[in-house]
Amino acid sequence: MKICARFFLGLSGLILLGASGIAQAETVLRVGLSSDPDQLDPATSRSYTGRFVFNALCDRLVDIDAHLDIVPGLATQWSWSADNKALTLRLRQGVVFHDGEKFDAAAVKYNIERDLTLPGSTRKSEISSVSSVEVVDPYTVVLHLKNPDAALLSQLTDRAGAMLAPGATAKGNVAAHPVCSGPYQFDSRVQQDRIVLTKFNQYWNPKPYHFDRVVFLPVPDASVRLANLRAGDLDLIDWVSASDVGTVTSDSHLTLAKPTPLGYMSVVFNIGNGQNKPTSPLAADARVRQAFSLGIDRQALNQVVFAGQYTPANQPFTDASPYHVPLPIPSRDVAKAKALLASAGVTSPLHVTMVVPNEPVAQQVAQVIQSMEAEAGFDVSLQMTEHATLLSRLSSGDFQLALSSWSGRPDPDGDIYSFISSHGALNDGRYSNEQVDKWLLAARQINNQDQRKALYTNVVRQLQIDMPVAYLYFEPRIFAISAKVKGFVPYPDALLRLADVTLSQ
């Protein structure tokens, strides 16, 4: 089976005339994605693959390097006030958006305020500490905070710090045609087929960017994605299946990149989301959710689906993080699961429906869980759905439980606050615990690592009791790359960075 990427083979052979009149071949990088991105609006986007596109399309206020240290982006310098309640950003001059509009402090104010007030914004809880934005001069802006926020700079390295052109954004359909200031500008999109970006000739730092076009092609099936890479129809693919790692490493025409994982896969329980509050035993009683978690053998899941290459999880903090809580991974305990169901007054089997992305690996994970849970007292029906649709259903509360992944963030706040806080924009199950909220907020307000870890330890231990989310494993986002691609560096956030990447013929 070949995807429509063959359409783009001709693009790499297009002939253009350079300034000297000498014919030049247009260079095209073709990237195979594991799913079609959702909305191309940084304020409302939720998908991991959408972040691939934003990395090429939208400059951010700050960025991270390969060691997760924060480095300049559109902000060249920053400083905190003595009480850590004001962040001053000095902005890069000479930057323009893709439509020619000037980037300045007013643009920063517009974007931050939009993230905070736009209905449906999934950035709102990430930067909820911001109380106001002050334009000091054309290239100086101050973010005034309600309280100190140790995670704020880290949040600005991602979509919360992505800058859209205010004029075009205010009057246009952002998701259909985003206007940013990155090295590549939006050209076109065919849903479920391709997203095309073209080089932005007025970019403030053009030298590291070598492609005339970047084409993103969603191919949900991992085996098809790899087959198209091996056939030369793609140049780089994300998320190689663990079972295909050997195939990639044995192919002299391919290379493998496996960054340290920050992301995780989980099962989210709908506790209180939806027009009518869920009334299922899963929503009503934590013992039922604990029983579901105990029905899963995480070690066996890792071996069966991932050939032992993934790491079982019981929390959002990978064991490479200084904030990892040293709690043993729970062993599968069918007898205890059944006892918990009985104590909750549930007659087995309990019929539940789990929403699952229509990706082969996710389906395999769900099927293994389905089989395990059948022995623990649950009759699990699986609903396979396209990834963007799944995200929409999560937001609206149209689910009982769902398989949900997160690609991970450099700061621990980015891996837990939005998902667990009562006011978190990504808290799809509407879990709410006042004490947990206090711990999470306190962890945002403290810079001391030991004190923050103590607070996150409290949260993780409480989550084992309340079980709003059953964490399954940490997932390395493994890349496979054509040997023709040079200069690709995998970052721990598992995103595609195109600076200094080239393609030999």
Name the CATH code of domain 264-474 (choices 3.40.630.30, 3.40.50.11740, 3.90.1560.10, 3.10.105.10). 3.10.105.10
Q: Which residue has the tokens 């309340």?
A: 466
State the architecture of 4-55+182-259+477-503 in CATH terms.
3-Layer(aba) Sandwich (3.40)
> Which tokens belong to 465?
């009791």
DSSP 9: G
223 within 8 A of 249, measured Cβ to Cβ: no
> Which tokens belong to 33?
């994605």
217 within 8 A of 9, measured Cβ to Cβ: no
Angle at 340 between CA 336 and CA 341, to 5 degrees: 120
> What fold is seen in the domain 62-167?
Dipeptide-binding Protein; domain 1 (3.90.76)
Distance CA 429, CA 466 (A): 12
360-378 tens-digit pLDDT: 889 999 999 999 999 999 9
Question: In 3D, which of 33, 74, 68 has the Cα closest to residue 51?
Answer: 33
181-203 tens-digit pLDDT: 999 999 999 999 999 999 999 99
Where do the domains of the chain lie?
Answer: 4-55+182-259+477-503, 62-167, 264-474
**What's the farthest any 2 CA atoms get from each other in the chain?**
80
Each residue's pLDDT, cut to its tens digit, for the chain (505 residues) gives: 344 443 344 444 444 444 445 546 789 999 999 999 999 999 999 999 999 999 999 999 999 988 888 999 999 999 999 999 999 999 999 999 999 999 999 999 999 999 999 999 999 999 999 999 999 999 999 999 999 999 999 999 999 999 999 999 999 899 999 999 999 999 999 999 999 999 999 999 999 999 999 999 999 999 999 999 999 999 999 989 888 999 999 999 999 998 877 899 999 999 999 877 788 999 999 999 999 999 999 999 999 999 888 999 999 999 888 899 999 998 999 999 999 999 999 999 999 999 999 988 899 999 999 999 999 999 999 999 998 899 999 999 999 999 999 988 889 999 999 999 999 999 999 999 999 999 999 999 998 999 999 999 999 999 999 999 999 999 888 899 999 999 999 888 888 999 999 999 7
Q: What is the pLDDT of residue 2?
A: 41
Coil/strand/helix, residue 484: coil
Q: What is the pTM of this model?
A: 0.81
